[in-house]
Amino acid sequence: MDIKIVDVAAKAGVSPATVSRVLNNNSNVTSKTKDRVMQVIHELGYQPNAAAKNLRSQKTMAIGVIVPEINNSYYAEVIKGIENQAYALKYKVIICDTSNNKEKELEFINLLMNKTVDCMILVTPMMSDDEICHWADLDYSIGIVGRYIEHDKIPCVYTDNVKFSKEVVNHLVEQGHREIAFLSGYADAIDSYERLEGYLKGLREHHIPFRPEWIENGNFNKQGGYEALKRLVEKQVKFTAIYAANDEMALGIYQACGELGIKIPEQLAVIGVDNNRVSRYITPQLSTVNQPKNKMGGAIVDRLIDQLESGEMTENRVIILESQLIVRDSSRNPALP
Amino acid sequence: MDIKIVDVAAKAGVSPATVSRVLNNNSNVTSKTKDRVMQVIHELGYQPNAAAKNLRSQKTMAIGVIVPEINNSYYAEVIKGIENQAYALKYKVIICDTSNNKEKELEFINLLMNKTVDCMILVTPMMSDDEICHWADLDYSIGIVGRYIEHDKIPCVYTDNVKFSKEVVNHLVEQGHREIAFLSGYADAIDSYERLEGYLKGLREHHIPFRPEWIENGNFNKQGGYEALKRLVEKQVKFTAIYAANDEMALGIYQACGELGIKIPEQLAVIGVDNNRVSRYITPQLSTVNQPKNKMGGAIVDRLIDQLESGEMTENRVIILESQLIVRDSSRNPALP
DNA sequence: GTGAGTATTGCAATCGATTTCTTAATAGGT
DNA sequence: ACCTATTAAGAAATCGATTGCAATACTCAC
């Protein structure tokens, strides 16, 4: 049915080898035969069979990407960056959405690494460092977005959670707050841990004694944020500001405050992380931290492909990109000038 | 380096053919040898080489998906539905983001259809019907999301743009409006055309004479919506309600109204399409039309794979899913009970 | 015009799994 | 116990492109 390289070869009066050479490296082919072959290729609309090509050349020109939720805007933006750079480098992108399911994640990794893709990008906050190192030890070519991994062979691109979390605390203190609650995400996600760490360091830098009742968990989703705030209020915890480990939970906080009649930012300052689309449109506008998501995606692709094609470790294994505190109404003290 | 089927065969004391049979159809293998082979497979951690498998079996178990913007929530949700169903049917998903670039789109289609994927899903409002039919005539196995195509071989899943647009107009009329503007998207997008058609039919049903100055173009993006509203006001067009062909443009309308001091919904009723995440959070809450995006993605996968594996056309080539008018504050007449 | 050297091109092996065709082994019936 | 029917397993061809090696054609100098 389909047209094969032998068909092209026959019609052009050359051998399949020559056709292949025309299509690939082009080394040592007369421009006359080259033209003739190209002519036939266009006439017949020939396209090389990818499966055969992959098998023989041991390359697929494909990158696998594993994300927890493709419809979450953070991951969608990272993927966008990956897509763009992959396209520029002539790679295809296979996306695997794990729905936050770790089983699925492992399954995908196994599925893809058998010559389905040349390398993989993990954008997963759930998997442990050890597990990730394990894959790399098996000579799987992988890159990580959003966290740091201590392993020679694994390029990482991320923003410094600890650093920006300290900045968040700093900002809240500047606005006059001394009682600052923290709303964490999944307990086993690396981001939760690091943002908590930054929060604690921030408190310490301002000599604010930490109180355990300030910390609640909201599992990174809106419902979790809503419930967490209600718990805090019910337990009569005293706090004038709250740092949510992502914007999604901050939305839940807004909802709970609405129901409880708590005014933002007058009675409670709120700040999130992610710079979700919604954060700019909600009232009052939500302060947040913006991460260069597109750039992170692009950078990891660059690094991985470079490593893949050069066959050796790239110079800058670890790339830390700057994130940016975006102060909006939800955390601004109206009493200050 | 990697473990191959012959290695497994050797260690298990059988032929490669037997190992293959154990892994695939399992027809005619003693449970004793089967167990032994499985044992060895696990010991060695053998995974079949996908490239070889694809070449020999002429199948890739992969679906290509072409979308204009992966970070647009509408497409992200459709993709999520595709991903889930593909996973259930053991297919992989290759995503191609065209950034609304038609050249790129054609390039991707050619790239993928050469045994890189078994079939493709186009979620593209830009390509013409003729072009799409052209691919199908070349025996490319494709499915369409979001529009109807007149072609035997192409399964389509969509919501009825005309129908819900009439409902939108109907709703606005019920709220007391007779002067209703329409904000279109790209002129060459099928959605723009059909929503306009529904809008016009809606006006006619209510015997409202149509005025050409009511129609503006906003290219489906926020900036376009912003500029379009300003143009309408500048031209002193009279209208008390506006139907934006998507929520994104409605956001632009909100911004323009804010600057011009136009109150929503008191002075202008606004309604969009898409049920964007933002629409629920913006003030006033934006009325919109919700499409079952996940379901659309899942349905097209079902249909395509069914067709692919049965080898014949599925019964329900055309699937029309119900969309749902979501009335919120932006279009509710405060004077009505 | 001849020979050395290089530029083109073809032949055939190869990538790793699947599958058809055979052969060997087992089961079943009388 | 013997012959047939059926099942289990192996040998080898196959999918379609790439590539090392061999062969031929061509160029140029003397």
- Report the CATH number that the domain containing residue B214 is assigned in CATH: 3.40.50.2300
pLDDT tens digits, one per residue of A190-232: 999 999 999 999 999 999 999 999 999 999 999 999 999 999 9
State which residues form the domain around B121. Answer: 58-159+293-322
Instruction: Please compute the mean of the pLDDT values over residues A107-136 and round it to a whole number.
Output: 92
B53 part of a folded domain: no
B215 and B283 co-located in one domain: yes
A255 part of a folded domain: yes
Q: Which of A234-238, B23-27, B77-81, B299-303 has the lowest mean pLDDT?
A: B23-27
Can you give the pLDDT at residue B76? 96
| Bases in strand D with any atom closer than 7 Å to a protein CB | 7-12, 14-20
Which residue pairs, CB below 8 angstroms and at least 24 apart, start in A276-281? A276/A73, A276/A74, A276/A247, A276/A248, A276/B277, A277/A73, A277/B73, A277/B276, A277/B277, A277/B278, A278/A247, A278/A251, A278/B277, A278/B278, A278/B281, A279/A247, A279/A250, A279/A328, A280/A328, A281/B251, A281/B278, A281/B281, A281/B282
Structural domains of chain B, count: 3
B44 and B102 co-located in one domain: no
- Cβ of A49 < 7 Å from strand D? yes
B151 and B185 co-located in one domain: no
Burial of B5 (0-12, 13-18, 19+ CB in 10 A): buried
Q: How confident is the model at residue B243 (pLDDT cuts 50, 70, 90)?
A: very high
Q: Is residue B1 predicted with pLDDT exceeding 70? A: no
User: Which runs of consecutive H residues, i.e. helices, occur in chain B?
Assistant: 5-12, 16-23, 31-44, 50-57, 73-88, 102-112, 129-137, 161-174, 190-205, 222-234, 247-260, 277-281, 293-310
A261 and A303 co-located in one domain: no
Nearest to A97 among B1, B83, B116 (CB): B83
B269 close contact with A: CB closer than 8 A: no
Spacing of A37 CA from D30 C1' in Å = 38
Give the SS3 label for residue B33: helix
B206 and B276 co-located in one domain: yes
Kindly determine whether residue A283 and residue B283, on different chains, have CB atoms separated by under 8 Å: yes
B73 part of a folded domain: yes
A336 part of a folded domain: no
A26 close contact with B: CB closer than 8 A: no
Residue with tokens 């110079």: A315
Instruction: Please compute the mean of the pLDDT values over residues B187-216 and round it to a whole number.
Output: 95
B155 and B165 co-located in one domain: no
B214 and B307 co-located in one domain: no
Can you give the pLDDT at residue B155? 96
Q: What is the number of other CB atoms lying within 10 angstroms of the CB of residue B199?
A: 27
A272 and A169 co-located in one domain: yes
Can you give the pLDDT at residue A194? 94
- Tell me the chain B residues in contact with residue A54 when contact means C-beta distances shorter than 8 Å: 50-51, 54-55
Q: How confident is the model at residue A314 (pLDDT cuts 50, 70, 90)?
A: confident
B241 part of a folded domain: yes
Instruction: Please compute the mean of the pLDDT values over residues B82-97 and round it to a whole number.
Output: 96
* Percent of chain B residues topping a pLDDT of 90: 85
| Two structure tokens written together for B201 | 């039919």
A278 close contact with B: CB closer than 8 A: yes
Higher pLDDT, A137 or A287: A287
Domain CATH number, residue B35: 1.10.260.40
**Cβ-proximal residues to B293 (8 Å cutoff; 6+ apart), any chain:** B74, B77, B78, B80, B81
Q: Is residue A138 predicted with pLDDT exceeding 90? A: no
Q: Which of A82, A93, A74 is nearest to A288 (CA)?
A: A74
Please give the Cα distance from A295 to A163 (Å, whole number). Answer: 19
**Cβ-proximal residues to A274 (8 Å cutoff; 6+ apart), any chain:** A73, A74, A246, A247, A248, A288, A289, A290, A291
| CB distance under 7 Å to strand C: residues | A 13-18, 21, 28-30, 32-34, 52, 55-56, 58; B 2, 4-6, 16-17, 19-21, 23-25, 48-49, 51-53, 55-57
Instruction: Please compute the mean of the pLDDT values over residues A138-156 and round it to a whole number.
Output: 93
Please give the Cα distance from B143 to B119 (Å, whole number). Answer: 8
A304 part of a folded domain: yes
Please give the Cα distance from B235 to B185 (Å, whole number). Answer: 20
A201 and A137 co-located in one domain: no
- Cβ of B25 < 7 Å from strand D? no
User: Which runs of consecutive H residues, i.e. helices, occur in A89-236?
Assistant: 102-112, 129-137, 161-174, 190-205, 222-234
B85 and B227 co-located in one domain: no
Can you give the pLDDT at residue A145? 97
Mean pLDDT of chain B: 94
A59 close contact with B: CB closer than 8 A: no
Listed by number, the residues of chain B in 206-265 with a beta carbon closer than 8 Å to a beta carbon of chain A are 251
Q: Is residue B190 predicted with pLDDT exceeding 80? A: yes
Please give the Cα distance from A276 to A296 (Å, whole number). Answer: 16
Can you give the pLDDT at residue B187? 85
Q: What is the number of other CB atoms lying within 10 angstroms of the CB of residue B139?
A: 10
* Percent of chain A residues topping a pLDDT of 70: 99
Can you give the pLDDT at residue B11? 92
* Residue A212 distance to chain B (closest CA, Å): 32
Q: Which of A42-51, A306-315, A323-332, B107-116 has the lowest mean pLDDT?
A: A306-315
Q: How confident is the model at residue A28 (pLDDT cuts 50, 70, 90)?
A: confident
Please give the Cα distance from B116 to A47 (Å, whole number). Answer: 11
Give the SS3 label for residue B157: strand
Q: Is residue A1 predicted with pLDDT exceeding 70? A: no
B224 part of a folded domain: yes
B337 part of a folded domain: no
A30 and A125 co-located in one domain: no
A169 and A283 co-located in one domain: yes
Q: At CA B178, angle to CA B173 and CA B179, rounded to 5?
A: 125
Closest nucleotide over all strands to A9 (CA to C1'): C10
Kindly determine whether residue B94 and residue A92, on different chains, have CB atoms separated by under 8 Å: yes
Please give the Cα distance from A326 to A275 (Å, whole number). Answer: 8
Please give the Cα distance from B87 to B132 (Å, whole number). Answer: 26
